[in-house]
Amino acid sequence: MRLTVIGMGYLGATHAACMAEFGHEVLGVERNPDRLAKLKDGEVPFYEPGLPELLKRHIDSGRLHVTDSYDAAASWGEVFFIAVGTPQKRGENAADLCYVDSVIEELVPLLEHDALILGKSTVPVGTAQRLADRANELAKDVHVEVAWNPEFLREGFAIQDTIHPDRLVLGQFAGGGAEAVTREIYAPIIEEGTPFIVTDTATAELVKASANAFLATKISFINAIAEVCSAAGADVSALADAIGYDPRIGRKFLNAGIGFGGGCLPKDIRAFMARAGELGAAQALTFLREVDNVNMRRRTRMVEVAREACGGSLVGVNVAILGAAFKPESDDVRDSPALNVAGQIQLQGASVTVYDPKANPNSRAIFPTLSYAESTLEACDHADVVLVLTEWAEFRELNPYDLNSVVRQRIVIDGRLCLDKAQWQSAGWTYFT
């Protein structure tokens, strides 16, 4: 089948490459000239394990093409995926839907045949209905159906989550033909026995928003409990293990630390709250405000721990920050807790050196005043305190003895509870969380 993916950022590039892997002929549309040039050469302008090889293989084979032309897209095929960004509006909690809207405004008037538009971008409930109404206004003697097929990708596992997802969700309008086409597109996945949930568009939009809200709530819950454990002298990791054995709770996402970040959870829960308010259901999601507050408070708390560990002041202190990405196996620093903490510590008078295996370039673009190192040893050179803020494997597996001759003081703050406390203490380090 011929498929078009509009927006070749993280979501779109992954989806396009994986659809080509399934044997479809795919056209990707990207308006950013720098990103487009890289994609045409088979290069991925961000870090995602396995994606560069997959994308280049299908660019080279001719199964995947990229363009900046909506005219070319309109004539390519009959199925169009919307995979553009929905960032948070400046100064507001609501999602900015200008990129999603522009797809309909630019594409639909060019269509000369019936088409199915499948939304994958994360949008507020009611967006599909609004887009469908607008598409009907713009369509010229053709039938354009809009349906919603939300994504559930985890950065670092995007290919796996696309090719072997834990579920597929399709929201369609009554009487539409989206289900049959979508089943054909995803036939290899459905044949594996993956649940395929067909519902209305509003429910499909809310599935994505609700999933992110639940994950954010679970993370903030264990971080709130971590504050109580700290006050009581209890072990939050042991507590999480104990309650995680309850199948109604589960152990995943019960890792206390400096909280969640990235380009999805923070802005998505805020957009969810904003949309609930527009619908007159603001009271239903008031708990998400505290989820957000707990998450942001963890960053401030980490700065306080660093200050306490250094005797009450960070002025003139050499600080090594290990990790800048919001999570391992990613170079994404959008709303990164690690980078936020680094910036706050610098503002309190410390000299801060950051090292991340993949996110240094993106970090420099946001915080050019921080110093950056090319290795753990370089970052820790003459450090008075070392903060581990992203749980990359190379940090989890660090041998503290290797740092003993490099640092000025043996103080480590385990912001992700990913280190072996006993090992670090036996190496002469003072360990904080």
Amino acid 309: pLDDT = 97
pTM of the model: 0.93
Per-residue model confidence (pLDDT) at position 301: 96
Q: Where are the domains of the chain?
A: 2-199, 296-432
User: Do 2-199 and 296-432 agree at the fold level?
Assistant: yes
* pLDDT at position 368: 96
- What is the separation, in whole angstroms, between the first and last Cα of the chain? 52
Task: Give the whole-angstrom CA distance, residue 235 versus residue 333.
Answer: 29
User: In this structure, are residues 53 and 89 in contact, taking their beta carbons and an 8 Å threshold?
Assistant: no
**One pLDDT digit (tens) per residue for the chain, 433 residues:** 999 999 999 999 999 999 999 999 999 999 999 999 999 998 999 999 999 999 999 999 999 999 999 999 999 999 999 999 999 999 999 999 999 999 999 999 999 999 999 999 999 999 999 999 999 999 999 999 999 999 999 999 999 999 999 999 999 999 889 999 999 999 999 999 999 999 999 999 999 999 999 999 999 999 999 999 999 999 999 999 999 999 999 999 999 999 999 989 999 999 999 999 999 999 999 999 999 999 999 999 999 999 999 999 999 999 999 999 999 999 999 999 999 999 999 999 999 999 999 999 999 999 999 999 999 999 999 999 999 999 999 999 999 999 999 999 999 999 999 999 999 999 999 999 9
Contact between 77 and 2 (Cβ < 8 Å) = yes
The one catalytic residue in 18, 264, 310, 380 is 264
Q: What is the pLDDT of residue 201?
A: 98
Fold of 296-432: Rossmann fold (3.40.50)
Q: What is the side-by-side order of every strand in the sheet holding 318-322?
A: 371-372, 351-355, 318-322, 385-388, 411-414, 430-432
Q: Which fold has domain 2-199?
A: Rossmann fold (3.40.50)
Beta-carbon contacts of residue 357 (< 8 Å; ≥ 6 apart): 392, 394
Q: Is 18 a catalytic residue?
A: no
